[in-house]
Amino acid sequence: DGGITQSPKYLFRKEGQNVTLSCEQNLNHDAMYWYRQDPGQGLRLIYYSQIVNDFQKGDIAEGYSVSREKKESFPLTVTSAQKNPTAFYLCASSPSGQGQRKETQYFGPGTRLLVL
């Protein structure tokens, strides 16, 4: 089955610790995205990548870093510089092509990050 997987489902971070969230897709999608969701708020874009070895900051990139060494993988690191990391983190991907097909984003099941 094609899809997007994220791990772990729950992650606990201690003060001053960097943690990495995994995102893998086998949909052969070119573009991948990381969002953060807080209660009562819409999803906010952290980083996105349109092709391998290239990525761009989204609206709230401070305190986060990413890499895109493989088409299938787009890991997100939450660094100690992110002072309020507790949130639901969602990875998404979208296919190449034109119009509506390209614009539709498909989401992984998410990772809940909690600070100890």
Partner 1 sequence: RKEVEQDPGPFNVPEGATVAFNCTYSNSASQSFFWYRQDCRKEPKLLMSVYSSGNEDGRFTAQLNRASQYISLLIRDSKLSDSATYLCVVRFSGGYNKLIFGAGTRLAVHP
Closest approach, Cβ 111 to partner 1, in A, equals: 10
Per-residue buried b or exposed e for 5-44, using 16+ beta carbons within 10 Å of the residue's own CB? ebeeeebebeeeeebebbbbbeeebbbbbbbbeeeeeebe
Closest approach, Cβ 80 to partner 1, in A, equals: 27
Closer residue to partner 1, CB minimum distance, 82 or 94: 94
Under the criterion CB under 8 A, does residue 69 sit at the interface with partner 1?
A: no
Q: Which two tokens stand for residue 17?
A: 């610790």
Under the criterion CB under 8 A, does residue 42 sit at the interface with partner 1?
A: yes
Assign residue 9 a region: left if phi > 0, alpha if psi is -120 to 50, beta otherwise? Answer: alpha
Amino acid at 10: Y
Under the criterion CB under 8 A, does residue 60 sit at the interface with partner 1?
A: no
Q: Which two tokens stand for residue 107?
A: 């989401």
**Which residue among 45, 52, 60, 115 contacts partner 1 (CB under 8 A)?**
45
Closest approach, Cβ 95 to partner 1, in A, equals: 10
Under the criterion CB under 8 A, does residue 22 sit at the interface with partner 1?
A: no
Question: How far apart are alpha carbons 86 and 72 in whole angstroms?
Answer: 26
List residues near partner 1 by CB under 8 A: 31, 35, 40-45, 48, 50, 56, 88, 90, 94, 100, 102-110, 112
